[in-house]
Amino acid sequence: MKKGIAASKGYAIGKVFIQEHEEIVITDAKIEDVAAEKENLRVALEASKQQLTAIKEKTLAEIGEHEAAVFEAHLTLLDDPEFTGQMEMTIENDSLNAMKAVQNVTDTFVMIFESMDDAYMRERAADIKDVSKRIISNLAGKGGSAFAITEENTVVVAHDLTPSDTAQLDRSKVCGFLTNIGGRTSHSAIMARTLEIPAVVGLGDITTSVKNGDLVIVDGIEGVAIINPSEEVVAEYKAKKEAFAAEQEELKKLIEVKTVTKSGKRVEVCGNIGKPEDIDQVLANGGDVSGFNAVIRAIKKTCETNGIECYGYIDGYRGLVNNNYIRLDGSETASGILTKGGSIIGSSTNAIVFHYKVEHEDGTVTYEDLSDQCVRNVKEAGFDCVFTLGGDSTQKSARDLFLKGINTIGVPKTIDNDVACTDVTFGYNTAVHVATEALDRLHTTAETHDRIMVLEVMGRFAGWIALESAISGGADVALIPEIPYDINKAAEAINKRKANGKKFSVVVVSEGAHPINAEQTTHEAEGIDNKAGISVKFGGEGNRVAKQLKELTGLDSRCTILGYMQRGGTPTAYDRVLSTKYGAKAMELAMEGKFGVLTVIKNGKLDCVPLEVVVGENKEIGAVQGGTAESNVRYVTMEDDLVKTARDVGICLGD
């Protein structure tokens, strides 16, 4: 008997099939024809996209939409210049072969993920590995097909199963799986639970403890694997398996049982995060924003304390349009969510009710004002208040719905920390923590190899994440959107360190940073409607800075784009407390009848301000330089303590 982690409930008895991958040897060989090698990478990426598209469609048809979204995220990763773009840059700058370039970029991302404290975030390294393995396999001409299983009652045994491996399992033949590594939050484990395939992971050495054809029992309740059991043990587990199946059938009878409310008063939670500019990021991560669930929990708990019913619209404003909601108070779904990243009710930053994307049967797309429909849905449901969790665009819609007769109360959410009228937004502290953790690890690489390590972080037009993480992570240079930089100034600071015997430096670059008299580095977001205020996506400034610093200092320079890692995982203690305070305050305001407002923190104290002040035409805080025509955004100013502190400790800001 071997003890592991119970990843998917149930019992399975079957013959072992050991998954074995053909080893692909990756060398450090340099290449002469850079263009040809970049073309090889392009072909491999395209093949990977085709394979993942097929897997996604199979998953959608056989498993479900939620599970298929995993592969949509994988496809997005293949199109992401923060990932594949770095592979191309590595080929071009270092003349490395494509397989080695893919491996190097992957190793950087995986290192950061696997070093995180949060178990959920550590498991996301498996997604990166899955995509990378597929690219390398296609580069080597091995294709990306899954292993073939021909016999029924087969237990798959593997070192690990990737999401694509799990999605392609033939459920008519595979009755369970066992792995050396993994945890309950891995996508393969989640898919196993959806497929109702018993699974035990984290067994350590199961691949070397069994051989093909061995009889094995998978106990997905206790998390154990029993190898070549006796007849008595087999009989015992057959009985357990039958009892478990009977229990599941009884539970299925409760699926259609409706919840009957006793009180006529209901309070609804509408969660909608971020900004429309972040649409690509939201679709790739599934709305992973730390602290979201803590706010929902605080509202739910306050409702329960006061005998008020609490509901949540599924996928934010999209749920509001489609009148799709669930009850949260007293629900198992809404239990134990304080420490969970993401949102238990989903989100939809692309769903703008006043400019809603409607896809017609003939394939045409129109954008329509569905706000009246939303108003009807809220009033017919009898909800007294709608809470909107999000950034400036979310709160703008909340303001406009309030003007149409819906009681709304906003809660400020964005990792960028750029919502006007409040000192801090929930999710920001966790993002800074992740960036700081990445800088800590990049420091060792920089010092070991005498390199300049550049870290690109999010923030769009606001440099809060870059500036605060630079201070907490001991960076030498920090480039933010509010201060157009002179690359020569940054190089001068690094050369000064080199002259003093320090042949390495760490640089933080905000994605929206830009040189003096130059525009921000952006790439087009395909298929995005410009009328919704979404036209470009930031990214790539870190690579530009790294290349220029290499030329100006003579030091090897590498860039890591932190990307979506800043948005997910377990919230920090600070964000948990902040989110709870925001949620409780929002409910207090609702019970006091104060609507059309945003909960804020000013000078450390909870308060509220009219939504009109937050998103109206009059700016509370303008940009230092390079402002935008967006609704109110809170920018870093030259008088901010963070700027003064950075200068005091010798961080070059590029000016």
Q: Alpha-carbon distance 558 to 545, whole Å?
A: 10
Query: How far is 171 from 191, CA to CA, in rounded Å?
Result: 12
pLDDT number for residue 345: 62
Lowest mean pLDDT, pick from 90-104, 243-257, 450-464? 243-257
Three-class SS of residue 356?
A: strand
pLDDT of residue 40: 93
CA–CA separation, 608 and 631 (whole Å): 18
Q: Taking a C-beta distance cutoff of 8 angstroms, is the pair 583, 411 a contact?
A: yes
Q: So what's the pLDDT on residue 267?
A: 47
Cα–Cα distance between 571 and 575 in angstroms, integer? 6
Percent of the chain with pLDDT over 70: 79
Strands of 556-561's sheet in order across:
477-479, 505-510, 451-457, 556-561
Model pLDDT, residue 37: 93
- Region 58-67: mean pLDDT is 72
Residue 251's pLDDT is 62
Q: What pLDDT digit, counting tens, does each position of 274-325 carry?
A: 333 322 222 222 234 566 678 888 888 888 888 888 888 887 888 888 888 8
- Contact in structure between 430 and 571 (CB atoms under 8 Å): yes
Cα separation, 475 vs 454, whole angstroms? 10
pLDDT band at 370 (very low <50, low <70, confident <90, very high): confident
Helix, strand or coil, per DSSP, at residue 372: helix
Q: With CA atoms as reference, report the closest residue to 539 among 22, 82, 171, 41.
A: 82
Count of H-run helices and E-run strands, the chain: 22, 23
Angle at the Cα of 308 (from 303 to 309), degrees rounded to 5? 95
The pTM of the full predicted model, rounded to 2 decimals, is 0.59
Asked whether 612 and 620 are in contact (CB, 8 A), the reply is no
Distance separating alpha carbons of residues 395 and 596, to the nearest angstrom: 10
328 token code pair:
């949260």
pLDDT tens-digit map of 501-550:
999 999 999 988 999 987 766 654 443 443 344 445 666 788 889 999 99
| Residues catalogued as catalytic | 416
Asked whether the CA dihedral 413, 513, 78, 159 is positive or negative, the reply is: negative
Per residue in 210-232, pLDDT tens?
999 999 999 999 999 999 999 99
CA distance readout (Å), 70 to 2, 156, 183, 186, 654: 30, 21, 17, 11, 40
Which pLDDT tens digit goes with each residue over 464-509? Answer: 999 999 999 999 999 999 999 999 999 999 999 999 999 999 999 9
CA distances to 73, 432, 509, 611 from 571, in Å: 22, 11, 23, 26
> Strand ranges (DSSP E) for 353-407?
356-359, 365-368, 383-390
Buried b (16+ CB within 10 A) or exposed e, 555-582: bbbbbbbbbbbbbbbbbbebbbebbbbb
How far, in Å, are 165, 178, 181, 300 from residue 189 at the CA level? 11, 10, 11, 29
Residues paired with residue 322 on neighbouring β-strands, in sequence order: none
pLDDT tens across 158-208, in order? 888 877 777 777 778 889 999 988 777 666 677 777 778 899 988 989 999
Residue (of 224, 254, 255, 253) closest to 240 by Cα position? 224
**How far apart, in whole angstroms, are the C-alpha atoms of residue 88 and residue 96?**
10
* pLDDT greater than 70 at residue 70: yes
The pLDDT of residue 554: 92
pLDDT at 119: 60
C-alpha distance from residue 557 to each of 31, 139, 491, 547 (Å):
20, 26, 12, 7
Could you please report the per-residue DSSP string of 229-289? Answer: --HHHHHHHHHHHHHHHHHHHHHHTTTTPPP----S-EEEEEE--S-GGGHHHHHHHTS--
Give the mean pLDDT of the chain: 80
Residue 543 in tokens: 């690579």
Nearest Cα to Cα of residue 349 among 400, 418, 280: 280
For residue range 576-616, list pLDDT tens digits in order.
888 889 988 999 999 899 999 999 998 889 999 998 888 86
Structure tokens at 240: 């357990």
Residue 549, both tokens: 């610093």
**pLDDT at site 344:** 62
pLDDT at 358: 84
| CA–CA distance, 393 with 475 (Å, rounded to integer) | 32
Q: What's the pLDDT score for residue 253?
A: 60
Rounded CA-CA distance 308/265 in Å is: 6
